[in-house]
Amino acid sequence: MRVLNDGAVVYYGSLDGAESLVFPAGCTYEYTDSEVRLKKRLGILEAAGDHQSLLGANADAAELLLVEFSKLVVSLESADSFDDFKKASNSFVSDANIVLDGMDSGKYKFPYQSKGQSDVIEDISERATEVSKILSK
């Protein structure tokens, strides 16, 4: 991290080392990419919960999707008409509408929307590939 005052460097060092310092008004702050990432992660920790809470919420979401998708697949197997198909999806429609309405109104925003869907897909694919390489050894 660098702190500049009128173009002159008044601090150069770690983000942690600067926390207890007081800088003059009007200073400019420059952060490395890793410091920007750390600041964002700390902001998430303060606003959305610790890593265990976030992991728990993600696990809940995955389990919910697995159960509801399983119900839909089983119901669709016995569907003989479009009406049967529509009935099979009824159990999840109201919950899906809550999510979609919340997104449309701006009440809910998911991290992938801020990151960019293509970046998220690339990140998921790269991480999955690396994990798969290790598991296949």
pLDDT number for residue 85: 82
pLDDT number for residue 105: 97
Task: Indicate the pairing of strand 28-30 with strand 8-12.
Answer: unpaired
Higher pLDDT, 62 or 86: 62
Average per-residue pLDDT for the chain: 90
CA distance 72 to 84: 11
Report, as an integer, the average pLDDT of 81-99: 87
Using alpha carbons, list the distances in angstroms from residue 72 to 54, 61, 81, 94, 126.
Answer: 27, 16, 15, 14, 30
Q: Per-residue pLDDT for 98 more than 90?
A: yes
Say what the pTM is: 0.63
Report, as an integer, the average pLDDT of 81-110: 90
Report, as an integer, the average pLDDT of 11-19: 84
